[in-house]
Each structure stands twice: as C-alpha cells, then as structure tokens.
Amino acid sequence: MITLYGATLSNYYNKVKLVLLEKGVPFTEQMQGTRSRDEAVLAATPLGKIPFVRIGDQTLCESQVIVDCIEALHPNPPLVPADPMAAAKVRELCAFMELYVELIGRELYGEAYFGGKTSDEVKARVREQLTRNLAALKRLVKFSPYIAGSEFTLADASAFATLPTVAGATKLALGEDLVAAAGIDWKPYLKLLGERPSVQRVNADRKRDAETAAAAAAAKKG
C-alpha cells in the first residue's frame, strides 16, 4: 500500500495523487505540512517539502521521481508510451514544465495565493523569464487533445499541476495571464481534463480543504 503525504492545496501533491488515481493504485493520504522539523519526516523528505510517499518500508520525495516510480511499479494503464523516444518526449515536457515554468512562476505564489508581497524587481524578472520560457513551451505542447499527443500521460499530470497555477499567479500578481498570452490555450484543455473522474476527485478534495482552511482562518480572526 502506498501512503501519500502532503496537502491537497499543493499542486505537486495533486500531480502525484492524479497519477495514483489514473492508475487505480490503492493509496491512503496522510496530511503533512511543509518545513517539518520532525526527524522521521526529514528522513523521508530532507528539505521538508511535500509531497513524499511511503511504499512498503521505503520513502521517496520529489514528485517527478515519485510518479516515475509509480509508473515502473504499476505499468498498467501506461502513462508513458512504450516507444523510448515517445516516452522521452513525454518526460521532456515534464522537465520543461517543472524547470522553466513552475519554478519561475512559483516566485509569484506568495503574493498571488498567500497574502504576501513580491518586489517589483522580482516581478519584472519573472515576467521576462516566463515570457521567454512559455514561448518555448508553446513549441512543445500538442493539445491533440492531450499535451503530448493522443493519450493522457505523465505530462498531463505535470500540466494539470502547473499551467492553471502559474496562469492564475501571473494574472493575480502581474495583471496578465502570461500562459494564455504565450498562445497556450490552457482553459479548454483543463476543461477536457476536468471530464476525468481522477481530476474531479483531486479538484473536489482541494476545494473541500480550501473551504475548511478558510473557515478556520475566519473563526480565528473572530
């Protein structure tokens, strides 16, 4: 049995959860916040990041490593093509999404989603980098109808985690959806993904937990 640790408000957590659901792999969820100082948690995720998983008596962190491991342990249904080159193209998209979109866009999340403030200097740099990187991503995406081609793959799990989150962050913090501005038509694609029971479950759980967190914050404020 796999235990998935983290929180449904984390897009990286939801990427792994989506893959588990797509594959029909039994798993349980264990709430775990970020930056834990608990030695047992740090043994599993040395930077205290979420998600991480326990598989039998082993633990693993890093969402892409985790989904690759799940793919290897549970190859059916496949979320990576059998052809090695096609499989590499899927992983190319995953890498691009993580390195050049998620990790840059993430610098805006504090202001966009958590009531923080991002300096104008950082905003200008993020805008410049994302504009370049999203134009590059546009050359890789297929949307036919899935991001890497005709089948749902691990690249769709990455895109599900990253595209709406970065699009929303740029809209909120920079006043413009840079994903859409780059010609990446992510909204109809997300709607298509939203027809999948796996995505519906991930979205419903995230909404439930967001509402619970908002209610708790309101009660604390008095």
Ligand X SMILES: N[C@@H](CCC(=O)N[C@@H](CS)C(=O)NCC(=O)O)C(=O)O
- The residues facing 196 across adjacent strands are none
Asked if 54 touches ligand X (CB under 6 A), the answer is no
Q: Which amino acid is at 65?
A: V
- CB atoms near residue 111 (< 10 Å): 18
Does the footprint of ligand X cover residue 10 (CB under 6 A)? yes
Segment interacting with ligand X, rule: CB under 6 A, options 61-69, 86-94, 110-118, 186-194: 61-69
Segment contacting ligand X by CB under 6 A, of 23-31, 57-65, 86-94, 133-141 = 57-65
Nearest to 60 by CA among 40, 43, 78, 35: 43
Among 56-64, 68-76, 131-139, 167-175, the segment contacting ligand X (CB under 6 A): 56-64
CB of 157 to ligand X, least distance (A): 11
Query: What b/e string do you get for 114-152 counting C-beta neighbours within 10 Å, with b at 16 or more?
Result: eeeebeeeebeebbebbeebbeebeeebeeeebbbbebb
Site string (11-50) toward ligand X, x via CB under 6 A: xx---------------------xx------------xxx
The region that residue 54 occupies, defined by phi over 0 for left and psi between -120 and 50 for alpha, beta otherwise, is beta
Query: Considering the complex, what minimum distance in angstroms separates the CB of residue 189 from ligand X?
Result: 21
Q: How far is the CB of 110 from ligand X (least distance, A)?
A: 11
Show the site string, 75-94: x = touches ligand X by CB under 6 A, - = not.
Answer: --------------------
Whether the CA torsion 121, 123, 124, 130 is positive or negative: it is positive
User: Can you tell me which of 29, 30, 62, 192 binds ligand X, judged by CB under 6 A?
Assistant: 62
**How far is it, in rounded angstroms, from Cα 134 to Cα 140?**
10
The residues that touch ligand X, with contacts defined as CB under 6 A, are 10-12, 34-35, 48-50, 62-64
